[in-house]
Amino acid sequence: MGSAWHARCSRRWTAMPDAITRIGFVGLGNMGWPMAHLLDPHYTLTVHDARADVAESFAGEHRASATTDLAALAAASDAVITMLPNGDIVREVALGDGGLAAGFASGSVLLDMSSSAPLGTRQLAEDLQPRGVAVVDAPVSGGVAGARGGSLAIMVGGDRDEIDRCRPVLEHLGRVIYEMGGSGTGHAMKALNNYCSAAALSSACEALIVGDRMGLEPAKMVDVLNASSGRSAATQGKIAEEILSRDFSAGFTIALMAKDVGIAGGLAEGLEMEAPILARTRDLWKDAAELLGDTAGVTEIVKLWEEWNGGELGSGSG
């Protein structure tokens, strides 16, 4: 048994592509820049951004080189990380004219760390597979602070061997790596996690507004919720720290939450499932993004109930 195990390991090791030493990084936004910064000392890094001056600025401050040519970036990389606004843009960057696919060598890997639609990720993996290019989806949770500190939680989907190959890269970026399953499962987990977060926050806001109208003191309500079965990450953090204090400083925006809940809703529809609470939550956050604006923080969603019910939380008129 031992010799058979070693033989399997030996075959697996020899079949694996070389270790990743050259990385392309596409998307140097609020999350991408600090993530690329953490990788720069450890890899030969080539960066790209839709704003060429941003990529040049990054290269000027780091060892990395910058390029406007996506195919050239792919040709110079063992793995390309995408950190982009959505999966449609990732697909265009990968398969569009002059995109990554034109430069990828067989054995390369596309590591999509964006918040992309899971079924779209699965399709992208199928489209790149004939070229010998693997796709690993590895979205993150932890925000800009986590990106800066290398303490992100990373949810990974894809072929296990390819995940193992990417793991040393991911370990520079995250404190914990969750291997979720096949292609698209990392993106599915990210969207479903944020759906649960959005549902918990919105239901807590609604409960507080109703209780306020009844004469309950919001701060005491939060204390009871946190000592009881109604507690959540929202009641244990965001409600007291930002909503009751009126310090709406959450770095994660309503627009981003609406996007992720929309991805979760699209997944349920794509799988032909009935998910009525998810559908209502998706509509609620979509409306909130339209009414409150793209830059509003997630905790500002309480303003919807305040507007609907004619008073600020804590005034007794909610």
| Residues with a known catalytic role | 190
The answer to whether residues 153 and 133 touch, using CB atoms and an 8 Å cutoff, is: no
The token pair at 131 is 């070229």
Pairing of strands 134-137, 109-112: parallel
The token pair at 38 is 């953490």
The answer to whether residues 91 and 62 touch, using CB atoms and an 8 Å cutoff, is: no
The token pair at 112 is 């999509």
The token pair at 176 is 């914990």
Distance CA 247, CA 241 (A): 7
Residue keyed to tokens 């500002």: 300
Q: How far is CA 214 from the centre of its chain?
A: 39
Of the candidates 25, 36, 18, the one whose C-alpha atom is nearest the C-alpha of residue 161 is 18
Distance CA 30, CA 55 (A): 13
For 274: left if phi > 0, alpha if psi spans -120 to 50, otherwise beta; the answer is beta
Q: Is 125 exposed, middle or buried (0-12, 13-18, 19+ CB in 10 A)?
A: buried
Residue keyed to tokens 């060429």: 52
Pairing of strands 140-141, 152-157: antiparallel
Of the candidates 240, 170, 173, 248, the one whose C-alpha atom is nearest the C-alpha of residue 204 is 240
Q: Which residues pair with 110 in a beta bridge?
A: 80, 135
Q: What are phi and psi of 112, to 5 degrees?
A: -90, 110
